[in-house]
A and B are shown apart, each in its own frame.
Chain A
């Protein structure tokens, strides 16, 4: 479980996050949604420690991440996996080397065990045929799947996904969403997904937090999001024609 209390972050005097409070639950896919520029990427960067908040608390379980020494933060980071918007695979390494990298760095297993573990993770994301390929030879969806395999290879307790469906077609996006969701349950991880893709919200949003202009404006689930009374959330969700029509149909059905 990850808990955020009264988190503030500003850049050059401009407040980007204001008094954000949230609880991200274990074994669930927690989504942070919001418009581009709303502060959700900054929030995620604060959570993973790439940015230091101006004030507030950030708990991983019972441990306040912000009060840990650098060496302790480094140890905790080995329990985190992250999937970046750009996949962030190492260009000079093959798929297998990319997935094996965290094992080579931190695992004390034998080479044979590390290889077996890496191959198992690659199998899990259905990329067994691509182990010898370089990232530049893979499609966007395949790169994201390699990133998922790399992020779970050390059995992490926390998984972070920054816009995992960015640049992918709707069908591939569903595959990635399903994979993230099933892996979260399989490993009982605390997963946080940053997205503005409403299809992802409807597919895997077990817990949804809506950020608007750096403030947490709404919190709920995929089942309650359509009936939320929050105007800014409604403006965000129903900006798409498709979702407006879905809501109209739903209201018509409710009215009989």
Chain B
């Protein structure tokens, strides 16, 4: 318990250092663009791949499990859309990103720490926490709506693929279900949730990487710990945010 409080305190102190006025805006701007490419653009591939197949699998499973003469034909499309929108493209996709992006951030910063690159920044008079962490947080928070949007569309295309390639139902029925009774707020809540999750991924994994003390084994541990901590926090935050955003 004491250790958890101590870690939380150190995390908050690091965040206080991180959210400070940049020394030179143009240098931070360039760093931000680099991070947007590294954390966002380079993640589009895996987001598309996973979302496509999950969309397809959800459609097949729903078709298999809830098909009944009593159920309307559009139910499969409707449920697929709701799952993609409410949970997969925001929460589960961020869990996947916690693995890819989180471990990347933690190992990058951890390696910079053990090779004294962070010390070099501090001695130059640069706020190393702000210079290294702030652009990562801002980049991921800016890029997450793009990734969520790509995920939703890739999931839908995956669902259509089960109709076109697998022939499990007609594309018209699926399309009707996907469009049926769309609540716009669900889309917004997916984006709102993903903003929080993006902040958790970038800040928590930065904390684990930035505070590495030791050698390569500690960098590996920091990378693993960051993924575990991010995943746990995302799942915990998901419950709270879902409760708040759905108003239940």
Whether A106 is near chain B, meaning CB under 8 Å from some CB there, is: yes
A64 at the interface (CB under 8 A from B): no
A80 with B123: CB separation less than 8 A: yes
- Indicate if A88 sits at the interface (CB-CB under 8 A): yes
> Quick check: A91 and B124 within 8 Å, CB to CB?
no
**A77 touches which one: B26, B111, B117, B124 (CB < 8 A)?**
B124
Judge whether A50 and B119 touch: CB under 8 Å: yes
B120, CB-defined interface residue at 8 Å: yes
| Contacting residues of chain A (63-116) with chain B, CB-CB under 8 angstroms | 74-78, 80, 82, 84-86, 88-92, 101-102, 104-106
Flag if A106 contacts B115 (CB, 8 Å). no
Q: A85 contacts which chain B residues (CB < 8 A)?
A: 116
| CB of B213 closer than 8 Å to a CB of A | no
Check if A48 sits within 8 Å of B123, measured CB to CB. yes
Interface residues in A13-68 by Cβ distance below 8 A to B read 48-50
Alpha-carbon gap, A74 to B17, bound state (A): 13
Known contacts A105-B23, A106-B23, A106-B24: A88-B119 contact under CB 8 Å: yes
Given the known interface contacts A105-B23, A105-B27, A106-B24, the answer about A50 and B115 at a Cβ–Cβ threshold of 8 Å is no
The reply on B126 being an interface residue by CB < 8 A is yes
The answer on a CB contact under 8 Å between A90 and B117 is yes
How far does the Cβ of B135 sit from chain A's closest Cβ, in whole Å?
13
Distance in angstroms between the alpha carbons of A84 and B116 in the assembled complex: 7
Chain B residues 29 to 48 lying within 8 A of chain A, measured CB to CB, are 34
How many whole Å from A148's CB to the nearest CB in chain B?
Answer: 13
**C-alpha gap A1/B115 in the complex (Å):** 29
- Which chain B residue has the least Cβ–Cβ distance from A75? B125
CB-based contact B124/A105 at 8 Å: yes
- The reply to whether the CB of B67 lies closer than 8 angstroms to some CB of chain A is no
Interface string of B84-128 (1 = CB under 8 A from A): 000000000000000000000000000110011101101111110
Q: B125 to A106, Cβ gap below 8 A?
A: yes
Query: For B111, what are the chain A residues with a Cβ–Cβ distance below 8 Å?
Result: 91
Give the residue of A50, A90, A102 whose beta carbon is less than 8 angstroms from that of B122.
A50
What class of interface size applies to chain B in its complex with A? 10 to 19
Considering only CB atoms, which chain B residue lies closest to A85 in the complex? B116
Asked whether A88 lies within 8 Å of B117 as measured between CB atoms, the reply is yes
Residues in B whose Cβ lies below 8 Å from that of A88: 115-117, 119-120
For A86, give its contact among B24, B27, B116 (CB under 8 Å). B116
The interface centre, meaning the residue of A88, A90, A101, A160 with most chain B CB atoms within 10 A of its CB, is: A88
Which one of A49, A74, A84, A104 contacts B120 once the chains associate, using CB atoms below 8 Å? A84
- Say yes or no: A74 contacts B125, CB within 8 Å: yes
CA–CA, A101 and B23, complex, Å: 12
- How far does the Cβ of A21 sit from chain B's closest Cβ, in whole Å? 24
Q: Quick one: which of B23, B112, B119, B127 contacts A84, CB cutoff 8 A?
A: B119
Q: Which residues of B contact A82 (CB under 8 A)?
A: 119-120, 123
* A86, B115: Cβ atoms closer than 8 Å: yes
Task: A92 to B27: give the CA distance in the assembly, Å.
Answer: 14
Residues in B with CB closer than 8 Å to A90 are 117, 120
How many angstroms from the CA of A104 to the CA of B24 in the assembled complex? 8
Centre residue among B23, B26, B34, B115 by max chain A CB count within 10 A: B115
Nearest Cβ in chain A — how far from B148, in angstroms? 28
Contact A105 B126 (CB under 8 A): yes
How long is the Cα–Cα vector from A240 to B34 in the complex, in angstroms?
50
Chain B residue with the shortest CB-CB distance to A50: B119
Instruction: Collect the chain A residues with CB atoms within 8 Å of residue B112's CB.
Output: 91
**Docked CA distance A73–B125 (Å):** 8
Contacts of A102 in B (CB 8 A): 124
Q: Which residues of A contact B119 (CB under 8 A)?
A: 50, 82, 84, 88
C-alpha gap A254/B137 in the complex (Å): 69
Report B-chain residues with C-beta under 8 Å of the C-beta of A101. Answer: 124
How far apart are the CA atoms of A49 and B111 in the complex, in Å? 21
Q: Return 10 A-B CB contacts under 8 Å, by A number.
A: A49-B123, A76-B125, A80-B125, A86-B116, A88-B119, A104-B24, A105-B126, A106-B23, A106-B24, A106-B124
Interface residues of A (CB under 8 A from B): 48-50, 74-78, 80, 82, 84-86, 88-92, 101-102, 104-106, 160
Taking Cβ atoms with an 8 Å cutoff, the residues of B that contact A are 23-24, 26-27, 34, 111-112, 115-117, 119-120, 122-127
Nearest 7 CB-CB pairs, A to B? A77-B125, A88-B116, A88-B120, A78-B125, A74-B125, A84-B116, A82-B123
